[in-house]
Amino acid sequence: MAPPTWGPDKSHTWRLSARAGRQKPSGPSFWRVPVAPSSSSGRGATEPRPLPLSYKLLDGEAALPAVVFLHGLFGSKTNFNSIAKALAQQTGRRVLTVDARNHGDSPHSPDMSYEAMSLDLQGLLPQLDLVPCVLVGHSMGGKTAMLLALQRPELVERLIAVDISPMETTSVSNFVTYMAAMRAIDIPAEVPRSRARKLADEQLSPVVQDIAVRQFLLTNLVEVDGRFVWRVNLDALAQHMDTIMAFPRRQDSYPGPTLFLLGGNSQFVHPSHHPEIRRLFPRAQMKTVPDAGHWVHADRPQDFIAAIRGFLD
């Protein structure tokens, strides 16, 4: 099946004006499948401290602003592998994919605030000589990207928030349910990898019925010393779920070009969010990708790339 084409009949874009608003659980303290050993013990969350994030950088033209991808909750930098390669080839830009703290190959920490995640990037991006950059963040990564742009606008040449807004998102998310299902998985020691994934998939399926979501969550199941563990820091994520679903209150605005790229089948960004989007991002535009859910880049990768390229031009 050919990838969907991008054109006026397949999407709609509008600048956020006054009329745009009319457009249409707590659990046990242990994991049956344990969390991978922390690579950073941390000393509490009183003062955020930057962590050395894991990343992959694709080379490109240094004179052009780099494109930086930030994944969502339970994700990793590998979520954007094929998209990053395509964008690097098509635009000639450097493209960076990053594992957030407590995700992928990045260190674990008890602090999972957006302030801490923003600070991690404030350390990494200048270190790699990637500022100002084009910041593309999905879901949790989109909130991190928005906060970084609001705090340090000089580091962000332009901003793309993928299917997320600077508002509370608990009411439309199933993340707490997913986490409870992940913590309940029980895999015997010394089983082969293929069998372990099959067991985990079977145990997740009654709660996480969407096979694509299950496969996404199972990317976090890894083998360490003969046993299967979750590489995401479920403990920290569970403790800070309210924080992750919220967004820090800000008075300042980001003056740069901003695109809110939404999934046509998703309910994460509601019209009631538009006034706050306009307040914080006065140059915001919105584009909807039809037939895409919350994971826009996975559901419609060609449309996703086309939308980014259109915003860069």
pLDDT of 188-226, one tens digit each? 887 888 899 999 999 999 999 889 889 999 999 998 888
Q: Are 144 and 121 in contact (CB under 8 A)?
A: yes
Which residues constitute the domain of residue 217? 174-230
Q: Would you say residue 226 lies in a domain? A: yes
Residue 40 DSSP one-character state:
-
Q: Are 53 and 98 in contact (CB under 8 A)?
A: yes
Taking alpha carbons only, the member of 156, 152, 151, 165 closest to residue 134 is 156
d(C-alpha 59, C-alpha 54), whole Å: 16
Q: Tell me, what amino acid is at 230?
A: W
Same domain for 255 and 134?
A: yes
User: pLDDT band at 172, cuts 50/70/90?
Assistant: low
Of 106, 109, 139, 266, the active-site residue reads 139
Residue 286 DSSP one-character state:
E
Q: Would you say residue 18 lies in a domain? A: no
Same domain for 156 and 217?
A: no
The full 3-state SS of 113-137, as one line of letters, equals CHHHHHHHHHHHHHHCCCCCEEEEE
Q: Is 163 a catalytic residue?
A: no
Q: Is 313 a catalytic residue?
A: no
| Domain end call among 186, 203, 230 | 230
| Domain end call among 185, 203, 230 | 230
Q: Would you say residue 200 lies in a domain? A: yes
Of 109, 294, 297, 303, the active-site residue reads 294
Same domain for 219 and 118?
A: no
Same domain for 287 and 141?
A: yes
Tell me which residue has tokens 């955020």: 48
To 10 degrees, what angle do helices 193-204 and 211-218 make?
Answer: 130
Of 99, 163, 235, 299, the active-site residue reads 235
d(C-alpha 184, C-alpha 28), whole Å: 9
Q: What is the mean pLDDT of the chain?
A: 85
Q: Would you say residue 83 lies in a domain? A: yes
Cα torsion angle, 19, 145, 216, 113, sign: negative
The token pair that represents 293 in the structure block: 């859910």
Same domain for 86 and 196?
A: no
Does 144 or 226 have the greater pLDDT score? 144
Same domain for 163 and 256?
A: yes
- pLDDT at 238 > cutoff 60: yes
pLDDT of 21-37, one tens digit each? 333 333 332 334 444 44
Taking alpha carbons only, the member of 235, 244, 177 closest to residue 33 is 235
Q: Are 49 and 119 in contact (CB under 8 A)?
A: yes
Same domain for 148 and 110?
A: yes
Helix (H, G, I), strand (E, B) or coil at 5: coil
Number of separate domains in the chain: 2
Same domain for 258 and 226?
A: no
Same domain for 60 and 164?
A: yes
